[in-house]
A and B are shown apart, each in its own frame.
Chain A
């Protein structure tokens, strides 16, 4: 970290004019960063995410709290899920289904930690053991909104919180639309769950479109104000998410799921999975002849694998 900081300090002093910060302040920030465990990544650092460098006005500095390695994950897609703060139950459901799917597939979830859709997404990802990034419109050390306190704490441990604003910054209204460019910039794909005609979510969507990101939207009833935003996006060419059981396929991350879940298998589950994959389709009784274990354990294992979507059980014929 020491080297990194020195680099940053040099960089800061060079670019001082473009950044509303004094040298003394910069030194203070670095000192605080060391003390409080957050990391400072500059645009020139190797850790700075490539996708963010490509956008029109990339943040010069990212303050990170948590697992900064989530910013560069080759081969693992990052998806942002955003939407209104005044979410309907339907919207919250959709956000948490999408969040769950992202977690299951081992992809990375990005959102803004606002209440409503954002929070529902974060919660679902965290509950399902997935990785999530929150991009704040405040300093990383300021939890905003307060209602997302539990998510904030969990993200510190299991995910990542980033911000371009210096620590201690409280929320200015203009900060939030600005940080939306980071949300979309960081992600490969952007999902809009709910939002009114003129809303932050639509702004994010527009930015994402400008940044050439794949845009998805959750369709809704046309008489619901919250659904007008995503419906308009669909009209304009966003991909609608229409099948709740095939979210992963729609988002194009389904291929990851089997790999990820299969990797996580342990013991008997892994053994049975391997036998099934090797033989294509196999009778339950035959599996038992390969594995000398109690039938109840094998049945339990098969159910688990089926529940995870790794195998199919067609009346005793496993494939």
Chain B
């Protein structure tokens, strides 16, 4: 503990200079949603009655920072100055949230009170970290978006908690000093340690995505597998209606595994979200797998969309670039379900609060499952449904037409027969790997086609783009017009069918949409008897 003693000596020496007003400032950051602002922790230590105040619209977590900082400094062997200490977090009018200001405030006090004399300049270094009472530096939520935001503002050097190191490794062109204790930083600033700012080890690709569940586990249900393949290839929403126990959730869980790997940009986006939500663990410091979120039907609107105080991302954002699985769609409160419409349309959610507004990305693939009626056996050839007509209507009406319209692919599942469960020798079973290969091929075709148009999948096509990108041959057109008139399709349903046929054609590697593609797309439409409105 030689280092600590020497620091204390310096403190005694400095104490003699009391009477001066000493000012210092240390860089940190504030997050609102994914938006990051520079925040300076200004610290002023002056003569006067013992007082310690933090100003600058700090929230409760920052107010409590006082006590953590005092204890941490004392536990590092210093005597906490018994004078008037003012901490101001600039810009003062901006509301601030988070415990990561601890580190900047502590360093500011150590500098201003003269307990520490900087040998190494820290003017351009951002300090992000939470302190424990014994001076340890704890992991911070939202570190990745903070670093990304500050880097954009020109900051290149960061002091970060050791446990956040892998996250920082995703950002290019920065240097970090990972620390696990306040003393490490004190000795670096005081010039008493060999620690250096280093380029963090690039963590991109360090963790291979691993999906444990495979489509090969699902026996029979080839039609649903096919539907899942199409949905994944065009990032289309999917609704599975069927009696209990047909494997609806099994299908949903396996969809992330057939989507292509996240690109670097996508990993960055997803990891940022998980960073803010505090969902990065030591085993999963960065997110490389497609998220699979399966909120319970008791989820509130805030849990689904995001919000709260501090504003946290909701399930739709946590499912960004992945799958949002809604089991028992009809059991969700209708207000929660309806709130999904905006993110499904825009690929992001805007949360507006008195404190400000923020936006989170929310480009997810919705996979919903529901029973055809309350007892679940309507339309089942073997088991009798015990619901009355009005029961069924009430049950189905919980899901609104506009929401159903936004889900491109509808399919009904039937209970598999015994022969499906025990497949004969030599029967081909489609597995995730082969499905994924097809999906990747189809997605590449889409990327090529939509280059420079601002969209990347068939599901995001708007009416105008459908006109220019979806060329249907004359046979297909005739068929479509016939289906349109004989089944009374709505304009939105018409667009859905075209988008789906586009994806089916892409899976077929056909540049033109042909009759058979339209025919198949038309089959992913629920019979009117389910939703007779």
Contact = CB atoms under 8 A, between A and B. Distances in A.
Contact of B417 (A286, A299, A304, A316): A286
B419 interface: yes
Given A283-B414, A307-B482, A314-B529, A300 B520 contact: yes
Interface string B406-419: 00000011101101
Interface in B483-528: 483, 486, 504, 516, 519-520, 522-524, 526-527
Contacts of A315: 241, 372, 379, 412, 526-527, 529-530
A299 B523 contact: yes
B221 A285 contact: yes
B241 A285 contact: no
B226 A296 contact: yes
B368 to A, nearest CB: 15
A113 interface: no
Interface-central residue, A297, A298, A304, by most chain B CB under 10 Å: A304
B502 to A, nearest CB: 14
Nearest to A315: B412
A299 B504 CA distance: 12
A163 B516 CA distance: 43
B520 A288 contact: no
A292 to B, nearest CB: 9
Contacts of A297: 516
A316 B413 contact: yes
B530 A296 contact: no
B220 interface: yes
A289 B524 CA distance: 20
B527 A295 contact: no
B226 A285 contact: no
Interface residues of A, number: 25
A245 B241 CA distance: 28
Given A303-B523, A315-B527, A317-B379, A295 B412 contact: no
Contacts of A285: 220-223, 414, 416-417, 420
Does more than half of chain A's interface fall in helix, strand or loop, or is it mixed?
A: helix
A300 B523 contact: yes
B9 interface: no
Contacts of A296: 226, 504, 516, 520
A300 B516 CA distance: 6
Contacts of A289: 417, 419-420
B384 to A, nearest CB: 14
Nearest to A282: B381
Interface string A276-319: 00000101111011000011111111111001000001111100
A57 to B, nearest CB: 42
A224 to B, nearest CB: 23
Interface string A134-163: 000000000000000000000000000000
B299 interface: no
B4 interface: no
B479 interface: yes
Contacts of A298: 223
Contacts of A299: 223, 226, 519-520, 523-524
Contacts of B226: 294-296, 299
B379 A314 contact: yes
Contacts of A316: 223, 242, 379, 412-414
Contact of B520 (A245, A303, A313, A314): A303
Contacts of A304: 519
B522 A303 contact: yes
A294 to B, nearest CB: 8
A295 B223 contact: yes
Given A285-B417, A315-B372, A307 B479 contact: yes
Nearest to A289: B419
Nearest to B379: A315
Interface string A30-66: 0000000000000000000000000000000000000
B527 to A, nearest CB: 5
A28 B529 CA distance: 66
Nearest to A305: B519
Contact of A314 (B220, B482, B527): B527
A302 B521 CA distance: 11
B112 to A, nearest CB: 71
Contacts of A284: 223, 414
Contacts of B222: 285, 288, 295
A314 B242 CA distance: 12
Nearest to B241: A315
A303 B529 contact: no
Contacts of B379: 314-317
Contacts of B526: 315
Given A285-B414, A307-B486, A315-B412, A302 B523 contact: yes
15 contacts: A245-B486, A283-B414, A285-B220, A285-B414, A285-B420, A296-B226, A299-B226, A299-B520, A300-B520, A300-B523, A307-B483, A315-B379, A315-B529, A315-B530, A316-B242
The 3 nearest A-B residue pairs measured at CB: A300-B519, A315-B412, A299-B523
Given A286-B417, A288-B222, 17 more contacts: A283-B417, A284-B223, A284-B414, A285-B222, A285-B223, A288-B223, A296-B516, A300-B523, A301-B519, A302-B523, A303-B483, A303-B523, A307-B486, A307-B519, A314-B529, A316-B379, A317-B379
